[in-house]
Structure 1
Amino acid sequence: MTEKTASVHWEGSGKTAFGSISTETAALKDYPYGFASRFEDNRRGSNPEELLGAAHAACFTMAFSFACEKAGFKTTDVDTKASVNLARQGEGFVIDRISLTMEATVAGMDDEKFQEIAAAAKRDCPLSKALASVPEITLQAKLRVDTTP
């Protein structure tokens, strides 16, 4: 149906090397990343795990909103955070956990239906399916009270 592209340019070797990430839409254009932004706390660049988390949170959020609409409910707002854990495994690394935390305002929906739709969206969004090899993907979903009159 659709294909999106991203590219990376990498210079150097090992811990002193650095790269840049670009996307076809230019949402990222020569955005820096490297060892320090991935394994240390250097905030001057990105890393694959935070990009994966952003993609997963965005995909899940859209899937949830569309599922609510299909069920006859309208989302007012949805806020999702994804935490991606990179762990050492043997000589390398593995993503062993992704935690999704979502809060949403959905008029007229009770918590039971909310949890049901949220769980289905987590299971069915394309990024969740692509990440099926991650041993643990959790979801904490909170329905916010709609205070509009």
Structure 2
Amino acid sequence: MEGGFAPFSFRTKSGKLSGFEVALAKGVAKQLKLKPVFVQTKFDSLISGLDTKKYDVVYNDMSITPERQKAYTFGREYLFTKSVLITKKGSDIKTYADLKGKRAAETTSSNFSQAAKKAGAQIVAAPGFAEQLELVANGKADVVLNSQDSWTAYKKVHPETNL
């Protein structure tokens, strides 16, 4: 898992790995009478880690795609969240159609990246959600497409954000 993507998996102030997917993984491991060992990695490395047997399973907010289904086995869907467009306050980006010609900060292998490209946005590669938000805040990108749950968790911790 990423370990930097609240509320799914993240480090608490004390450094402890926490979040919905951490609890889910622990619950599944308990049922299987296994002790989970968590490996934190960037989103774009999750699939390659499976390929190289760095770990046995991925718990991360990752959508099922036809390409991924050809090579990997997926469990039942356990997460349903809306997607949002995150911009600086006052941005002219209000809808998906407004992404044409804009710069979207995304992890390159994510479904959000694919959606932004499909809408005509140029992708500004960033390894994680915090880095994506920083690119928009600094004006190096115009928008981030991501999970409403993650955005809500971020705003709770950063209520002063100008995004």
Larger radius of gyration, structure 1 or 2? 1
Q: TM-score, normalised by structure 2?
A: 0.26
User: By percentage of residues, which structure has more strand?
Assistant: 1
| Larger RCO: 1 or 2 (CA < 8 Å, sep 6+) | 2
Tell me the TM-score normalized by structure 1. 0.27
